[in-house]
Chains A and B, each alone.
Chain A
Amino acid sequence: MSVEKLSALAEKSNAERKQIRSERMQLVLRNKTFLVGASMLGFWVIMAIFGNLIAPRGAGDQDFEFVSVGPSLKYWFGTDANGQDVLSRVILGTRLIVVMSFTATALGTIAGTALGLAAGYFKGKFDMIVMRLIEAISAIPVLIIALLAIAALEGRSPTLTVIVIGFVFTPNIGRTVRAAVLGESELEYVAAARLRTERTPHILFREILPNVLPPIIVEFTVRLGYAIFAIATLSFLGAGVEYGSPNWGTQIAENWGSIYSNVWWATAFPALAIASLAVSVNLISDSLLEVFEI
């Protein structure tokens, strides 16, 4: 087949793909599950951005006249055993978990995508070595790796937690992307690009990447849900962020003991916040899966 013929076929194929993407986007925006999930996520993103303006009190403010007081008109979510406003701490804790989970997932997605693209495109020994490494890392539970890394590096900071979670997510995303690339790399538009003597980065990132975006986007949302739980769990275990910070997982760690004293609100509201954020992301993920038919 001549270069011209291949190019014509590739152009036609690209046009069809663009149309499919456009139709899918329309479907996504009409999907009720997506809209509910996006609304919930949007709520938390607003809290993360404008939390300082919305929260009625500071994260560290203590009111010794109202210690372990249940939900009331003055304190909608009640106060904890330190006399701190649970509502304010939930609102102010949003930014950290939202930023951390998005950043960690983005980090893992970028690294995993790059790895998956390369492995799927080059194949051969490179692919084999990368896949064995990915399998080895994937065999260890996320939390164990995260705890080991944090302990080994003797650090406890949001940045370190983000890097560790991003690293742990990289293999899974890499594997998904590789599988998609293996199929794509055999198609005409890739052969045409090769015939046009395009450079490898161009083929990977300009030709193949746009066509494997749906599974990447779905994988991103799935991982985002995991990241929220991982960060909350690490914070609960005292390995994520500083004790005493208005982080949801940390708040649960600080207050769960009060449940035995019937002070449920200091634990319940941060837990509900984690659940609602994770559910919002999962709803988005489910709707994308449905639309993309993956």
Chain B
Amino acid sequence: MSIIEQSTNEVSTNGLSRRHFIQAAAATGVAIPFAQMIGGSAVGAASTTLRLASGKQEHVIAPWETSGGSLFALSMVGEWLTWQLPSGKLEPRIAESWTSSADAKQWVFKIRSGVKFNDGTPLTADDVVYTFTSIFDKTITKGVSRSKGNYDNILDAKGVVKVDANTVQFNLLQPNGNFPYFVSSACYGMCIIKNKAFGGAGWEKTMISAGPWKMVSHTPTEITVYEKNPYYWDSSFNPAYSKVELVQFVSAATAVPLLKTGKLDYIGAMEAADALTLDKAKFTVNTLPAGAGFAHVHMRTNFGPFQDKRIRQAAALTIDRPGYVKGVMKGIGGIVGNDSVMDPYVTADKSVPQRKMDIAKAKELMKEAGVPNGFKVDLSTWARDDINKYAKLIKTSFAKIGIKVNLVIDGSDGGSAVYYTYDPYPSKPGKVNQFDNHSWLASNLGIVDWAGRGVPDQYLMREWRSTGDWSGAMLDSRVMDAAVDEYLQAITPAAKKKASKKIQEASLDETPYILAYTSNLITAGRKSLTGMVVNGMGQYDARAAK
């Protein structure tokens, strides 16, 4: 195994997160029609239809626009060069194999022979090149692609080169030992689409990609029905189910009764409290280890009341992290003490001190910052079971040092149509309105959920670096940028660990985000169902379901 392969595989031990569902007042109205809509089956009875619960789609289910709950549906029909496994490691999919240059600047991917799209058209290197170049061209995407930010400072359109019909080379702008993750399902919008296809709104009408399932019908925000893709590249794929139904729920809690009554077969992400109510004789509950997927609390660094880092540090010191994980999360979660995204990964430096609740010190910092009596601030986020609880934790914790938090929780359109607006996008400093409009990229204080990636590169590039396009805090720190760049370009585990330490220390110092815990993916299914797999992104792999 080359040093780069080692580096690629030394990912998080898990890399998990949830994309689970929101709690909202309208949930009963959603759940009841579903209960009527989907037919029943006795618990444990075999069925030719596999019924899976999914989060509510946030946007249209299309590669260039997918986000949030829509990535569940996309994961059924899409196929990527590589697939992130629950362990956080990668599995070859359309790419049969890959190699890199010694400096990790050139990566060559061999495309599997005989791969076809689900309409029977052969998939070639041209399709792969188009998938990775089109996102850079606004004339093609009409500006709707959200995937370009994955590749800032890493790759541009010129760097994607067809070598031959089955080989594509990526010439990177800077070395990156984790690049196979950049072409994986962790970049969920980068499933391979047909050459010249439009990957924005409208794509969902056909859903042409090369995944194991083919869309039969799709009712936005309600249900998507799939059947086996007859052209799937893996000829051994012989599903036990003739149909798969993916039913969207506003709240995982509302899906639980349907699971209990046999009207659903599987829930891919749920709250611990709900899972604990399931009868172990009838249902299988799996808890994957805590990973990198978690809710990030951003404190805006370039405008608003959190500009002084002492205030941000004080805020971070108010939270009883172990208490929250033990009590509210029923102990199913990881405690993060240094507010860094590096914590769950094996390259994290464990010698970096962990933050503990210290109200006296927090008050002292507030006094030093000139706000001994605190201030009022809105916390903006969107309604989801776990985020609601986290928002309340922030409110009660900040109150201890006089910060009066007013919760502004977006419950629109099943959750996040307002909060996750891309209106102020990109969020680069100087290019965004300098006021709080309660959206994720223009708010003084907010909570953003991030799916679990096998490596931290995307968090670092899009959220922590000053050039990041998904940076709620808009941190502009030379120290952090240098540490991030060092990590991204590091090839050996030792070099990554060294860079990670710098990131962790800079995170403690600047505290642009509060990352109090890592969440676990909790899945539940009927006892007789086997073979269902969910990865850290919350993407389903139902190929082996029986």
Give A contacts to B, CB under 8 Å: 60-68, 81-84, 156, 236-238, 242-244, 253-254, 256-258, 260-263
Q: Which residue of B lies closest to A263 (CB)?
A: B273
- Which residues of B in the span 239-254 have a Cβ within 8 Å of any Cβ on A? 251, 253-254
Known: A243-B388, A261-B253. 9 other contacts (CB 8 A): A66-B327, A67-B328, A81-B273, A81-B389, A83-B327, A244-B395, A257-B23, A257-B27, A260-B277
Q: A60-B396, A82-B389, A82-B392 are in contact. Are A243 and B327 (CB under 8 A)?
A: no
Contact, CB under 8 Å: B251 / A60? no
The distance in angstroms between the C-alpha atoms of A21 and B419, with both chains bound, is 57
Interface check B198, CB cutoff 8 A: no
- A237 partner, pick from B25, B276, B385, beta carbons under 8 A: B25
Within B17-31, which residues are at the interface with A (CB < 8 Å)?
23-25, 27-28
Among A65, A66, A243, A258, contact of B409 (Cβ-Cβ < 8 Å): A243
CB of B409 within 8 A of CB of A82, answer no
Cβ < 8 Å to A, chain B residues 310-326: 320, 323-324, 326
Are the C-beta atoms of A236 and B25 separated by less than 8 Å? yes
Q: Chain A: interface secondary structure? A: loop
Which one of B23, B25, B253, B277 has the greatest number of beta carbons of chain A within 10 Å? B25
Indicate if the CB atoms of B411 and A238 lie closer than 8 Å.
yes
Which residues 25-77 of B have a CB within 8 angstroms of A? 25, 27-28
Chain A to chain B: the 9 pairs with minimum beta-carbon distance, closest first? A64-B327, A64-B323, A257-B253, A60-B396, A67-B327, A243-B407, A244-B407, A261-B277, A243-B409
Q: How far apart sit A62 and B319, CA to CA, in the bound complex (Å)? A: 11
Closest to B24 in A: A238
Name the residue among A60, A84, A254 with the largest chain B CB count within 10 angstroms: A60
Contact assessment for B411 and A260 in the assembled complex, using a CB-CB cutoff below 8 Å: no
Complex interface: chain B residues within 8 A of A64 (CB): 320, 323-324, 326-328
Measured CA separation A256–B273 after assembly (Å): 13
Asked whether, in the complex, the Cβ of A257 is within 8 Å of the Cβ of B385, the reply is yes
**Contact B257–A260 (Cβ < 8 Å):** yes
CB–CB A258/B391 < 8 A: no
A83 nearest CB neighbor, chain B only: B327
Nearest Cβ on chain A to B394's Cβ, whole angstroms: 10
Q: Is the CB of B327 within 8 A of A254?
A: no
| Interface-centre pick from A62, A156, A257, A261 (highest chain B CB count, 10 A) | A257
Q: Cβ of A242: which chain B residues have Cβ within 8 Å of it?
A: 406-407
Give B405's nearest chain A residue, CB to CB.
Answer: A244
Q: Is B460 an interface residue (CB 8 A)?
A: no
Q: List 6 A-B contacts (CB under 8 A).
A: A236-B25, A238-B411, A243-B388, A244-B407, A257-B23, A261-B273
Task: Say if the beta carbon of B399 comes within 8 Å of chain A.
Answer: yes
B274 contacts A by Cβ under 8 Å: yes
Interface residues of B in 255-279 (CB under 8 A from A): 256-257, 271, 273-274, 276-277
Check A253 against B399 for contact (C-beta < 8 Å): no
Answer whether A65 and B327 are a contact pair too, CB < 8 Å, given A260-B274, A261-B276.
yes
The complex places the Cα of A263 from the Cα of B253 at a distance, in Å, of 12
Find chain B residues with CB under 8 A from A258 CB.
253, 273
Is B157 interfacial (CB-CB < 8 Å)? no
Q: Complex: how many Å from CA A256 to CA B257?
A: 13
* Best-surrounded residue of A66, A238, A244 (most CB of chain B within 10 A): A244
Which residues of B are found within 8 Å of A261, using beta-carbon distances? 253, 256, 271, 273-274, 276-277
Docked CA distance A242–B254 (Å) = 23
- In the bound assembly, the distance between CA atoms of A263 and B273 in angstroms comes to 9
| A82, B253: Cβ atoms closer than 8 Å | no
Residue-wise, chain B 320-352 has the 8 Å CB interface mask toward A (1 for contact) of 100110111010000000000000000000000
Contact with A along B386-427 (1 / 0, CB 8 A): 001101110110010000001111010000000000000000
What residues of chain A lie closer than 8 Å to B393, measured between beta carbons? Answer: 62, 82
The smallest C-beta distance from B117 to any residue of chain A, in angstroms, reads 40
Q: In the complex, are the beta carbons of B273 and A61 less than 8 A apart? A: no
**Measured between alpha carbons, how far is A61 from B251 in the docked complex, in Å?**
26
A257–B324 CA distance with the chains assembled, in angstroms: 19
A263 surroundings in chain B (CB, below 8 A): 273
Nearest A residue (CB) for B410:
A238
Q: Which residues of B contact A62 (CB under 8 A)?
A: 320, 323, 327, 392-393, 396
Indicate whether A244 sits within 8 Å of B323 (C-beta atoms), given known contacts A60-B399, A67-B328, A81-B328.
no
CA of A81 to CA of B273, assembled, Å: 8
A260 and B254 in contact, given A60-B396, A82-B392, A254-B388 (Cβ under 8 angstroms): yes
When distances are taken between beta carbons in the complex, the residues of chain B under 8 Å from A61 are: 396
> A253–B273 Cα gap in the complex (Å)?
17
B256 contacts which chain A residues (CB < 8 A)? 260-261
Task: Select from chain A the residue with minimum beta-carbon distance to B388.
Answer: A254
